[in-house]
């Protein structure tokens, strides 16, 4: 889908304004090399999107397979708090995917719109890990772990899985799932059908999502915003700028690429690869 270009003249129009926040990518705290959505870089942009007295609505453009529940919650609750305080409606427009934490973000809105191909839902919680016990045995490595506190070590991938660890993890996942369910029910309210079990991680596509009540209509941002608020509505984007490659390699500074920075960049290649694999796995869960 081609990205819309917002006209700079919109900054100076005196008519009604709609603020746009783009929420693209997996959700997490993110490293220097990742393109994840997280709260800290978005906080000021969200505040600014609601700040003007001319703002008639805030539009969230969402394309996310989910990720961190905490980061999803921090972003969604800030948006909802400002919307309620300033009495500004929020509209979510979901593109390829709004799943798991991506759907949690969409539920910060008063209305949710989808494309006919949007994959949306996945109201559940997942924890994925790996076991490397056999691998380290083959190369002659022994794992040594010492803790102060019986519950300090949980699901160590280099040790055999313990039933008590699995039980503790299940308790954590259930607690997060319950909060996710409460957030969705609080957002969607009577638009949910009591006969449908929405909370087992299922996803729906396009119009079907509207039919079951987890979205409100099939539609796209610009036509809907112009129709609702007028052709003269100024659409201003408040999404934070993505750092360039040099900024990522040098930790966000403007310093020249010194030998130290180059060494750091080389050492970070493995980190970048792992981050890319993890993010790719999130998208792949939904066929993207």
Residues annotated as part of the active site:
100
Q: Rounded to 10 degrees, what is the CA torsion of 96, 101, 103, 107? A: -140
**103: Cβ contacts below 8 Å, ≥ 6 apart:** 66, 120, 121, 122, 123, 184, 214
Q: Count Cβ atoms below 10 Å from residue 271 Cβ, excluding itself.
A: 13
Q: Are 159 and 137 in contact (CB under 8 A)?
A: no
What is the β-pairing status of strands 203-205 and 119-121?
Answer: antiparallel
Q: Are 97 and 120 in contact (CB under 8 A)?
A: yes
Q: How far is CA 107 from CA 53, 205, 224, in A?
A: 24, 17, 18
């Amino acid at each position: 889908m081609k990205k819309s270009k917002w006209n700079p003249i919109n900054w100076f129009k005196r008519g009604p304004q709609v603020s746009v926040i783009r929420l693209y990518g997996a959700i997490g705290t993110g490293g220097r090399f990742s393109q994840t959505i997280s709260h800290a870089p978005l906080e000021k942009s969200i505040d600014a999107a609601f700040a003007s007295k001319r703002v008639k609505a805030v539009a969230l453009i969402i394309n996310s397979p989910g990720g961190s529940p905490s980061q999803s919650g921090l972003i969604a609750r800030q948006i909802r708090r400002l919307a309620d305080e300033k009495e500004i409606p929020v509209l979510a427009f979901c593109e390829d995917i709004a799943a798991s934490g991506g759907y949690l973000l969409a539920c910060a809105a008063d209305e949710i719109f989808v494309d006919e191909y949007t994959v949306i839902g996945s109201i559940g919680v997942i924890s994925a890990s790996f076991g490397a016990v056999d691998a380290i045995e083959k190369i002659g490595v022994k794992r040594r772990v010492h803790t102060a506190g019986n519950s300090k070590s949980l699901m160590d991938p280099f040790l055999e899985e313990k039933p008590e660890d699995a039980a503790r993890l299940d308790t954590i996942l259930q607690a997060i799932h319950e909060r996710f369910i409460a957030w969705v029910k609080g957002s969607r309210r009577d638009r949910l059908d009591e006969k449908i079990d929405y909370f087992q991680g299922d996803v729906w596509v396009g119009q079907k999502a509207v039919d079951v009540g987890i979205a409100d209509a099939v539609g796209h941002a610009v036509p809907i915003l112009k129709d609702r608020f007028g052709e003269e509505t100024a659409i201003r984007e408040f999404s934070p700028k993505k750092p360039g490659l040099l900024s990522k390699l040098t930790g966000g500074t403007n310093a020249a690429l010194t030998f130290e920075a180059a060494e750091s960049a080389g050492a970070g290649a493995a980190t970048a690869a792992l981050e890319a694999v993890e993010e790719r796995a999130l998208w792949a869960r939904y066929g993207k």
